């Protein structure tokens, strides 16, 4: 515990009231003594110090892909795992974010700041990389087209159309 003069000397080296409170608390002074020397309410001193604790807890908690939730796998054989991939438990953050495990992100070759596509299904969401989503769209379109559409390359068909148009213009 410091004398009032020592406390004032510590506080004088700080710019803001909050910094003064933090410095005096770090020097081992009680909240009541800090409030008295700085001529602030005990509640203000407490709020600054408690808010620092909340911030410290929040910064200590992993965010985003740094978080490492557990992967639950059964002891089944490879065929079972191929048919039923591992189930991963994810949690909603208070801001409605969902954190994916880093090993899953790396395994899918996704990266921070990248884009993934969520396919909405009746039983939940299915996450896809952008290239995988593109392949899925191509597959869906391919299923919708008649078989005749694949008898000739679309590029070849387009080139043939352009040549016919150019020939027709020359004839005019």
pLDDT at 162: 92
Within 8 A by CB and 6+ apart from 49, the residues are 21, 22, 25, 31
In the prediction, which pLDDT does 165 show? 92
* pLDDT at position 59: 65
Name the region of 96 (left: φ>0; alpha: ψ -120 to 50; beta: rest).
left
Q: What is the pLDDT of residue 76?
A: 55
User: Residues with Cβ < 8 Å from 27, sequence gap 6 or more?
Assistant: 2, 7, 10
Q: Round to whole Å and give the CA distance between 152 and 60.
A: 60
Distance CA(170)–CA(138), nearest Å, equals 37
pLDDT in tens, the chain (172 residues): 578 888 888 888 888 898 889 888 888 899 899 899 899 999 999 999 998 888 777 666 555 555 555 555 555 566 776 777 777 888 888 888 888 877 777 777 777 777 888 888 898 888 888 888 888 888 888 888 887 777 777 788 889 899 999 998 888 7
Q: What is the pLDDT of residue 62?
A: 57
What is the pLDDT at residue 164? 92
Q: State the pLDDT at residue 43.
A: 92
Cβ–Cβ < 8 Å for 99, 91 = yes
**56 within 8 A of 73, measured Cβ to Cβ:** no
User: CA 5 to CA 8: how far, in whole Å?
Assistant: 5
Tokens in use for 124? 């939940």
Length of the chain: 172
Query: Can you say how many angstroms the Cα of residue 169 is from the centroid of all Cα atoms in its chain?
Result: 56
pLDDT score of 52:
84
- Domain residue spans in the chain? 4-60, 62-106, 115-172
40 exposure class (CB count in 10 Å sphere: 0-12, 13-18, 19+):
middle
């Amino acid at each position: 515990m410091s004398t009032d003069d020592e406390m004032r000397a510590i506080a004088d080296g700080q710019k803001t009231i909050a910094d003064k409170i933090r410095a005096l608390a770090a020097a081992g002074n009680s909240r009541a003594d800090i409030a008295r020397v700085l001529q602030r309410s005990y509640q203000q001193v407490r709020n600054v110090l408690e808010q620092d604790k909340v911030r410290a807890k929040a910064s200590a908690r992993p965010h985003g892909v740094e978080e490492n939730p557990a992967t639950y796998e059964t002891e089944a054989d490879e065929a079972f795992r191929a048919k039923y991939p591992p189930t991963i438990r994810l949690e909603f953050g208070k801001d409605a974010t969902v954190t994916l495990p880093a090993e899953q992100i790396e395994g899918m070759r996704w990266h921070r700041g990248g884009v993934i596509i969520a396919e909405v299904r009746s039983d939940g969401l299915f996450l896809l990389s952008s290239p995988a989503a593109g392949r899925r769209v191509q597959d869906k379109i391919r299923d919708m087209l008649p078989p005749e559409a694949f008898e000739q390359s679309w590029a070849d068909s387009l080139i043939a159309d352009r040549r016919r148009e150019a020939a027709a213009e020359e004839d005019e």
